[in-house]
Amino acid sequence: MIIGAIRRGRLRAVATPVAPPVAGARGPLAARAVLRTGALSFGALVVLGVSRLVHGSLVGHATGPQAYGVIGSLIGITYVAGLFIPAGLASAMAKFVAHNRGRSDPAAAEAVHLLLRRISDASAVVLGVLSAVAARLLFPVSLADAAAVGLLAAAFCAYSVDKSAFYGFDRVARYSRLEVAGSTLAILATVAVIAAGSTVYLLPLALGYAVVVAGARLTRLPDTPRGAAPPPPVPAGHRREVLAFAGLAALGAGSAAGLLQGLPLLASAFASGPDVGYLVTSVTLVSPLYLLPRVLGLALFPAMSHAQGEGDATAVRRSTDLSMRGTVVVLAAPLAAALPLAQPLLRLYGGDAFAAGAPELRFMLVATYVAVLATGPVNALSSGSLRDSLRPVGYAVAGCVAGVLLAVPLGRAYGGAGVAAAYLAAMLVTTGGPVAAAWRRWRMPWAGTVVRGALVVAAAAALAVAGDTVDLAVARPVTQLVAALAAGGLAVLVFARDGRSLLTRMDEGTA
C-alpha cells in the first residue's frame, strides 16, 4: 500500500520553508566532520564487533558446532525481528531528525524523535513476545530460554532506534561511550555465565544493548533547552512522510540484512546440524567486514539527510563517489587475504571441528564484499525523496526473494555451502541495482574500479583453492599463509593507483 501510494503521488515530501542556517553550524558533509563521526563510530563498532566475536567464540568452544548452530539460530530470530520495523524506525530517526535540523527547525526534530521513540517502545514489546513464541515453536528450548530470546529481541529493537537518535542529533561521542560500556559488560557477563556453568548465553548480549537504551533515556538529546515546552505534534503531512519512509526502510533492511541474520534458519531446513553451525560461524566471522560500511553509513546518512535539507546536491554526489570507490579499494586486500585463510580462521575461532566449514565462510566473505559496495549509493538515494528511497528497497526485496528461492535447491544439494552461495546471489541483485541507479544519475567513474574488484576476488578464490590442494612439502597452514600473502599483495598492487587517486581527490575537495 505504501509503495502504491508513492507511485500514485499521494505521498510527497512536505514543502516547508527552509529556515536560514544556524550561525556557526558546521557543514554536515565537511571532511573533518565526517572523519570525526566516522572515527568515533569506528571505535564504538570495533568494540561491539569484538564483543560479539568473543561471545561467539566462548560459546562455540563451550558447546560445539551442532549446539552452537541452535544458539546462533535463536540469536538470528532476534536480529530478524530487529531488522524489520525497528530498522525502519531507526532509519527514519536518523534521516528526519537530521533533515529537520538541517532546515534549522529543532522543534520539528524533537517532535519526530518523540513520535518514533513511542512507536519504537511499543514495537519492541510486541516483537519481543513474538520472538519468544517463535523460538518456542521452532526449536526444542525451555520456557526460560524462549523468554531470554524475547528479552534480547526487545533490547535489540529499542537499541537500534535509540542509537540512530544519537546520530540524528549529532551526539556520537556520547553514544560511543555507551557502546563501549555495554560491549564491555556483555563480554564480562559472557565469561561469568560460562564460568558458572549456566546456559543463559543470550542474556549477556541483552545486557549490552540495554546499556545504550538506558543511556539514551537518561540523557538529553534534542537541541531545544531542557525544561522548554513540549514541541507541537508532527503535522499530518510530515507524519505520513516519516512513517512511509520508515515502512520502506523496514522492508529494505528486512530483505537485505534480515536475510543475512536469517541464514541459520534457512540452513536448518535443508542442512545437517554441523552445517548450520558452520554457517552461523561464518556469519559471525564476516561481521567485522561490515565495520567500514556501517561506519560510513552511520556517518554519511544523517549528514546526507542534513545536506538534502539544505539543498546541497553537490556534496551528496561527491560523498557518494568517494565512499563507493573507497569501500571497493579498502576492503579488497583484507578480503583477498582472508579467502585462503578460511580453514585456519575457523580452527582458531571454534576448534578443529569447525575447519570443514571453509566453503561456507568463503562464500560469505565474497557475499559480504559485494553487499557493502553499495553503502554510498544506498545512503544517497535513501536520504532523498520517497521515490528515490523506493529504488534500493525494491532491489533489496528482489535480492531477498532470489536468495530464498535459490536456497531451496542449493541447500538441498550442497548443505550450508549452498545456502551461502544463495546469499551471494542475493547480494549481487541487492547491490547491483542501487550502484547502477547512482552511476546513471551522476555519471560516476566506477566501471574500472568494479571490474578490478571482480578480478581480484576471482584471483584470490583461485589462490585459496591452490592453498588447500597444492602440496609444497610443508605444513598445510604454511601453504595457506603463502596463498593469503600472495592474494593480499595482488590486491594492493591492483588498487595502488585507485588509492592514490582517491587521496588526491579528497585533498583537492573535488569529485
Nearest Cα to 72, choosing from 57, 84, 85, 82?
57
pLDDT more than 90, % of the chain: 39
pLDDT over threshold 80, residue 260: no
23 confidence band (pLDDT: 50, 70, 90): very low
Phi-psi region of 253 (alpha: psi -120 to 50; beta: other; left: phi over 0): alpha
Better-scored residue on pLDDT, 234 or 382: 234
Q: Sign (positive/negative) of CA torsion 163, 165, 167, 170?
A: negative
What is the rounded average pLDDT of the residues 285-298? 69
pLDDT score recorded for residue 442? 82
DSSP state letter for 21: P
The answer to whether the CB of 113 falls within 8 A of the CB of 222 is yes
Q: Where are the domains of the chain?
A: 1-7+32-223+236-261, 269-511
pTM value > 0.85: no
Query: How confident is the model over 205-256, as pLDDT tens digits?
Result: 999 999 999 999 888 787 777 777 788 899 999 899 999 989 988 888 777 7
pLDDT score recorded for residue 366? 95
pLDDT over threshold 80, residue 96: yes
Residues sharing a CB contact under 8 Å with residue 354, sequence separation 6 or more, in sequence order: 60, 65, 277, 278, 281, 346, 347
pLDDT score recorded for residue 70? 85
Q: Sign (positive/negative) of CA torsion 132, 135, 138, 141?
A: negative
Read off the amino acid at residue 488: G
pLDDT over threshold 90, residue 324: no
Nearest Cα to 429, choosing from 393, 453, 454?
393
Residues sharing a CB contact under 8 Å with residue 290, sequence separation 6 or more, in sequence order: 368, 372
Query: How confident is the model over 406-462, as pLDDT tens digits?
Result: 998 998 899 889 999 999 999 999 999 999 998 888 888 888 999 999 999 999 999
Question: Which 3 state secondary structure label does DSSP give 206?
Answer: helix
Average pLDDT over the chain reads 84
